Amino acid sequence: MSTEEPIGNKIEQGKEALISIEKEGLYVFHGSIELIEELEPRQAKIWDKDKKEMTEHGEPSVVATPFAEIAIFRAVISNKIKADDGKHYSAFGSDGEKPYFETTPSVLKNAKNAVGYVYVFKKEDFTELSPMEWRSNKKLKPVRTFKVHFEDLPENIRVEPHSK
């Protein structure tokens, strides 16, 4: 555990602890590069392949996932980490059994020193949008906060040759 103390919540470390919490099935996770005391609903956006732009997705909400590794990936490989060409590409999804992750070699290289945070919330405060995505329309304080690093990333990241 870290001695770094955020606003009202102790910061913990350890991917193994997050995976253990995930197995309990009672919590969801949110990954961010920012240290936040309370998360508030924000407008989610998704990539529209036809329009080739980001579009609004649902109502403003706090978005979380029951998969700790997705939150770790989002916290470390955030859209603030750019490839050498100044662009960012990362994606995740499910192959039906487990999550998969994608990014470019350049984004992965530039994330080596990245630090992020995974927030743990009670699943009962969220509504399932899909098996991978849960949402809440209210401000929420995490029950636990974990600091994550490049070394905590999932092992099964597909490295794509260039930005899409």
Per-residue pLDDT tens digits for 82-123:
667 777 778 788 777 788 888 888 888 888 999 999 999 999
Q: Does any domain span residue 65? A: yes
Side chain identity, residue 33: I
Please say if the pLDDT value at position 27 is more than 90. yes
More confident residue, 112 or 27: 27
- Separation between Cα atoms, residue 145 and residue 25, nearest integer Å: 17
Q: What is the pLDDT of residue 1?
A: 41
Q: Does any domain span residue 159? A: no
Side chain identity, residue 39: L
Residue 131 near residue 40 (C-beta atoms within 8 A): no
Domain span at residue 73 reads 11-80+111-148
Name the CA radius of gyration of the chain, rounded: 15
Q: Does any domain span residue 119? A: yes
DSSP assignments along 30-73, one per residue:
EEESS--SSB--B--EEEETTTTEEEE-SSSBEEEBS-HHHHHH
Q: Does any domain span residue 121? A: yes
| Edge-to-edge strand ranges of the sheet holding 90-94 | 90-94, 99-103, 157-159
Q: Does any domain span residue 93? A: no
Instruction: Tally Cβ neighbours within 10 Å of residue 15.
Output: 18
| pLDDT (tens digit per residue) in 32-42 | 999 999 999 88
Q: Does any domain span residue 102? A: no
- pTM, full prediction: 0.83
Q: At what angle do helices 15-24 and 68-76 cross, to 10 degrees?
A: 140
Q: What is the number of domains present in the chain?
A: 1
Tokens matching residue 32: 């961010």
Q: Does any domain span residue 104? A: no
Report in angstroms the alpha-carbon separations of 6 from 9, 89, 123, 144. 6, 30, 23, 11
Q: Does any domain span residue 56? A: yes
